[in-house]
């Protein structure tokens, strides 16, 4: 049974009593290392609930439990909790505290009184993760909105949280950076961090989240697996949401007998495999090449006889290695899905992968194989 990490019990909250409750008797549980999405229209109470879960606001009624214990609002207890539970706000301007990028990212680790060399390493790693290393000395207020959003994410990553709450993390970002943010969220999950995010993008959250909580007019109207909620069209409409395109396509095709309803695909690659249903066709091999951050990728690909294959990248160690050796990469974003699609087309592909991300990288290929939609060989190459 999954351990409950954060729990809201009958939470009520109002900013001004005369305006009524923003949160009205909200109860939900968030499991440890469960990828969790909080969904709802603007004004549903998502951001306010996040501020309650992080002890930024204190509920008028009800209580929040962290690791089974009610949150104490004593200053030292709150500081200790916030060293473990970090929040990324939707508006980056709410999180910028220092005049330049390096100082801002170092703000949290410095307050933890970490050694200087540890702070510098965390700053460098976090800036690399969000693609902002070259802006280390830049003034924060001269950055674009999207760049400032990356810097605030770097500041949160530098804290090495056990729980990361992300409020609309991809809003205002270009599509490529949105993929990078989701890759970062997945990597954090793979390292044992509990990641919770809100988003209006149901396509994005459906491909990622294990569990969803749906907010509507300050109440939690649904908690559980995404499919049960999206199957209730009236509930989706009342919540001000749209069902994910992959879910709708699967429902439509299953209703006319073109595919079986289950298993439910979560990505376009998985949906494509169900539609094609190419059980007797030719499939390629997905070579997952595990690397460390100082691996010479080009030399390793040559050593393994994998030259000339379509190649993707996945995970921070792989991106560090790419930065080190500058190999030719076809898929810098969404590497596992793109490489798996190549295998569906009967061609071998190489996914240069952080070892901790290997299980995540296999998911779509395993969905295809286990569902009987194809036979993609998965070849994990460890150094």
Two tokens at 62?
Answer: 């009800």
Do 289 and 369 share a domain, yes or no? Answer: yes
- Give backbone dihedrals phi and psi of 219, rounded to 5 degrees, phi first: -120, 150
Q: How remote is the C-alpha of 199 from its chain's centroid?
A: 11
Considering the domain boundaries, does residue 347 fall inside one? yes
Q: What is the pLDDT of residues 70-119, one digit of tens each?
A: 998 998 888 888 889 999 998 888 888 888 999 999 999 998 889 999 99
Do 32 and 51 share a domain, yes or no? Answer: yes
Do 153 and 167 share a domain, yes or no? Answer: no
CATH number of residue 12's parent domain = 3.40.50.300
Which of the four pLDDT bands, split at 50, 70 and 90, describes residue 53? very high
Do 154 and 176 share a domain, yes or no? Answer: no
pLDDT at 60: 93
Residue whose pair of structure tokens reads 């994990």 in the numeric block:
380
> What percent of the chain has a predicted confidence (pLDDT) above 90?
81
Total domains present in the chain: 3
Considering the domain boundaries, does residue 253 fall inside one? no
Spatial distance between the Cα atoms of 358 and 326, rounded to a whole number of angstroms: 22
Do 185 and 210 share a domain, yes or no? Answer: yes
Spatial distance between the Cα atoms of 63 and 369, rounded to a whole number of angstroms: 45
pLDDT at 79: 84
349 or 325, which is more confident? 349
CB 270 within 8 A of CB 344: no
Do 296 and 351 share a domain, yes or no? Answer: yes
Considering the domain boundaries, does residue 275 fall inside one? no
Do 154 and 196 share a domain, yes or no? Answer: no
pLDDT at 111: 87
Q: What is the mean pLDDT of the chain?
A: 93
Considering the domain boundaries, does residue 240 fall inside one? no
Strand-pairing partners, residue 11, are 26
Looking at 126, 141, 160, the residue that finishes a domain is 160
Considering the domain boundaries, does residue 237 fall inside one? no
DSSP letter for 72, please.
Answer: P
Considering the domain boundaries, does residue 147 fall inside one? yes
pLDDT at 94: 85
Do 223 and 345 share a domain, yes or no? Answer: no
Q: What is the pLDDT of residues 308-328, one digit of tens each?
A: 999 999 999 999 999 988 999
pTM (two decimals) = 0.93
Looking at 160, 175, 203, the residue that finishes a domain is 160
Q: What domain range includes position 64? A: 1-84+162-232
Answer yes or no: is pLDDT of 36 > 80.
yes
CB 245 within 8 A of CB 50: no
Q: What is the pLDDT of residues 183-220, one digit of tens each?
A: 999 999 999 999 999 988 899 999 999 999 999 999 99
Best CA proximity match to 219, nearest among 62, 19, 6, 25: 25
Do 156 and 166 share a domain, yes or no? Answer: no
Q: In the sheet where 194-198 sits, what is the strand order?
A: 85-88, 163-167, 194-198, 36-39, 211-216, 219-224
Do 222 and 348 share a domain, yes or no? Answer: no
Which of the four pLDDT bands, split at 50, 70 and 90, describes residue 175? confident
Q: Which long-range contacts (CB under 8 A, 24 or more apart) does 232-240 make?
A: 239/39, 239/40, 239/41, 239/44, 239/214, 239/215, 240/40, 240/41, 240/42, 240/44, 240/216
Residue whose pair of structure tokens reads 């069209």 in the numeric block:
233
Which of the four pLDDT bands, split at 50, 70 and 90, describes residue 173? confident
Considering the domain boundaries, does residue 239 fall inside one? no
Do 139 and 191 share a domain, yes or no? Answer: no
Spatial distance between the Cα atoms of 281 and 321, rounded to a whole number of angstroms: 35
Spatial distance between the Cα atoms of 271 and 273, rounded to a whole number of angstroms: 5
pLDDT at 96: 86
Q: What is the pLDDT of residues 229-278, one digit of tens each?
A: 999 999 999 999 999 999 999 999 999 999 999 999 999 999 999 999 87
Looking at 160, 191, 213, the residue that finishes a domain is 160
Considering the domain boundaries, does residue 191 fall inside one? yes
Do 11 and 97 share a domain, yes or no? Answer: no
pLDDT at 185: 94
Answer yes or no: is pLDDT of 279 > 90.
no
Answer yes or no: is pLDDT of 361 > 80.
yes
CB 218 within 8 A of CB 19: no
Share in percent of the chain as helix, strand, coil (round to 5)? 40, 20, 35
Spatial distance between the Cα atoms of 267 and 366, rounded to a whole number of angstroms: 13
Answer yes or no: is pLDDT of 20 > 90.
no
Which of the four pLDDT bands, split at 50, 70 and 90, describes residue 14? very high
Which of the four pLDDT bands, split at 50, 70 and 90, describes residue 50? very high
């Amino acid at each position: 049974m999954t351990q409950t990490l954060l729990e809201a019990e009958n939470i009520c909250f109002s900013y001004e009593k005369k305006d009524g409750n923003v949160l009205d008797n909200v109860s939900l549980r968030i499991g440890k290392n469960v990828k969790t999405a909080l969904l709802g229209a603007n004004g549903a109470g998502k951001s306010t609930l996040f501020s309650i879960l992080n002890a930024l606001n204190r509920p008028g009624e009800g209580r929040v439990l962290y690791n089974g214990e009610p949150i104490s609002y004593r200053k030292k207890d709150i500081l200790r909790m916030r060293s473990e539970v970090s929040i990324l706000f939707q508006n980056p301007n709410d999180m910028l505290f220092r005049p330049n990028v390096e100082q801002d990212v170092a703000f949290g680790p410095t307050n933890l009184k970490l050694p200087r060399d540890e702070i510098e390493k965390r700053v460098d790693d976090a800036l690399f993760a969000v693609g902002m290393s070259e802006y280390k000395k830049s003034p924060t207020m001269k950055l674009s909105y999207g760049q400032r959003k990356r810097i605030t994410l770097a500041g949160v990553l530098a804290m090495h949280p056990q729980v990361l709450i992300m409020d609309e993390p991809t809003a205002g970002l270009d599509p490529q950076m949105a993929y990078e943010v989701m890759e970062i969220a997945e990597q954090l999950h793979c390292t044992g961090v509990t990641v919770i995010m809100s988003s209006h993008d149901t396509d994005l959250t459906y491909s990622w989240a294990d569990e969803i909580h749906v907010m509507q007019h300050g109440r939690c109207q649904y908690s559980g697996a995404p499919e049960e909620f999206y199957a209730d069209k009236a509930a989706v409409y009342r919540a001000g949401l749209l069902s994910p395109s992959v879910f709708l396509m699967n429902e439509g095709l299953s209703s006319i007998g073109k595919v079986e309803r289950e298993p439910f695909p979560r990505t376009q690659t998985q949906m494509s495999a169900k539609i094609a249903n190419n059980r007797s066709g030719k499939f390629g091999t997905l070579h997952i090449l595990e690397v460390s951050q100082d691996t010479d990728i080009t030399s390793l690909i040559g050593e393994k006889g994998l030259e000339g294959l379509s190649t993707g990248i996945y995970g921070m160690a792989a991106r560090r290695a790419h930065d080190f050796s500058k190999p030719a990469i076809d898929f810098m974003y969404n590497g596992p899905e793109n490489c798996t699609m190549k295998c569906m087309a009967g061609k071998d592909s190489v996914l240069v992968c952080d070892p901790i991300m290997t299980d995540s990288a296999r998911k779509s290929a395993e969905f295809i194989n286990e569902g009987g939609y194809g036979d993609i060989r998965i070849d994990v190459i460890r150094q």
